[in-house]
Amino acid sequence: MIRKTLTAAAILLSLTLPATAAPLAKDVFGHVPGPTAGTAAAFGTYSKGCFNGGVQMPESGPTWQSMRLSRNRNWGHPELVNFLTGLSQAATKMGWNGLYIGDMSQPRGGPMLTGHASHQMGLDADIWMLKPQSLSLGRQQRENISSVSVVASNGLGMSGYWTPSHAALIQSAAMDPRVDRIFLDAAIKDTMCKANGNRGSWLQKLRPTPNHDYHFHVRLNCPAGNSGCTNTAAPVAALSGNDNGCGAAAQEMAYRANPSSRPKAGPGNPNYRHPRTFALSELPRQCQIIGTAR
């Protein structure tokens, strides 16, 4: 059970105030002192949720280092920490010294003060494309060093940083049954599709996404037994007509090569709001309690 020492009056107030008067969820979750105790569980959705019983990815390990420690975003559901540890170990068999792990989640998840819209249930992690030369970086070095783009500057192919071991690492992650999808640049997916003759059901997990050329974003499925965790997105295969999405990636590359051929974008969702605008009272009830627990 979640440790709850917040007064009943305070909880009632947070649940009854109108959204415009309640505190913003990002301000609550962005300043929590640490995780809540109890059984690990994710609640809500990837972009409107939180988690209980989170654990911290150690700052350093034999096959990884957590980066940008000042952000305090190296937390996650135990299933995510287990996945990342295993993937970093597997990476050493693919030509990597280990992995640089970027943003995961805040200690209790929830909306962040800056950056990501998702990463809220402790089931998302960014993995740098930069192959580590050292796994003994100090805290300040981890703030100053940057990853590298594996996509050419014109977006039409791969840069000199791309290697077969990058493809092997991403494929290994995609083939893990715990992984729901992986967000990365369309050029990366197109390259991997061609290298595999457009064959492989695991390719359907690779989702082309802008600004994902210097890291790839892994998202895990809701853990077994977490009934409060919801994946609102349709399966990737369903979104791409029950194929592996290679055709769509190739089409995106054609649009990049000939921008005038790209169809005009629609108006978008007029009701979309960035999660940083959510009031605490708009999050699932479990998250309202988790965010204010002491």
User: Hey, where are the domains in the chain?
Assistant: 8-292
Let me know if 270 is exposed, middle or buried by CB neighbors in 10 A (0-12, 13-18, 19+). Answer: exposed
Distance, in Å, from the CA atom of 158 to the CA atom of 192, rounded to the nearest integer, reads 11
The pLDDT of residue 237 is above 70? no
User: What is the model's pLDDT at position 156?
Assistant: 97
Name the CATH topology of 8-292.
Answer: Muramoyl-pentapeptide Carboxypeptidase; domain 2 (3.30.1380)
The pLDDT of residue 255 is above 50? yes
Contact 255, 261 (CB under 8 A): yes
Instruction: Identify the band that residue 22 occupies on the pLDDT scale cut at 50, 70 and 90.
Output: confident
User: What is the model's pLDDT at position 242?
Assistant: 59
CA 2 to chain centre: 24
- List the beta bridge partners of residue 50: 43
User: What is the model's pLDDT at position 5?
Assistant: 34
The pLDDT of residue 113 is above 50? yes
Contact 254, 261 (CB under 8 A): yes
What secondary structure does DSSP assign to 127-190, as a single string? EESSPPS-S---HHHHHH------B-TTSSSB-TT--HHHHHHHHHHHTSTTEEEEEE-HHHHH
The size of the chain, in residues, is 294
The pLDDT of residue 4 is above 90? no
Q: What Å distances lie between residue 105 and 23, 100, 112, CA to CA?
A: 20, 15, 8
- List the beta bridge partners of residue 52: 41
The pLDDT of residue 19 is above 50? no
Which residues, including other chains, have CB under 8 Å from residue 16's CB and lie 6 or more apart?
281
Contact 104, 80 (CB under 8 A): yes
Which residues, including other chains, have CB under 8 Å from residue 31's CB and lie 6 or more apart?
none
pLDDT in tens, 162-172: 999 999 999 99
pLDDT in tens, 76-95: 999 999 999 999 999 999 99
pTM over 0.85: yes
User: What is the model's pLDDT at position 239?
Assistant: 54
Which residues, including other chains, have CB under 8 Å from residue 216's CB and lie 6 or more apart?
126, 127, 129, 170, 173, 182, 183, 184, 188
Contact 85, 64 (CB under 8 A): yes
Place of tokens 């989640």: 105
User: What is the model's pLDDT at position 7?
Assistant: 34
State mean pLDDT over 105-115: 97
Instruction: Identify the band that residue 235 occupies on the pLDDT scale cut at 50, 70 and 90.
Output: low
Instruction: Identify the band that residue 3 occupies on the pLDDT scale cut at 50, 70 and 90.
Output: very low
Q: Answer positive or negative: Cα dihedral of 105, 107, 110, 111.
A: negative
State mean pLDDT over 49-78: 98
User: What is the model's pLDDT at position 233?
Assistant: 80
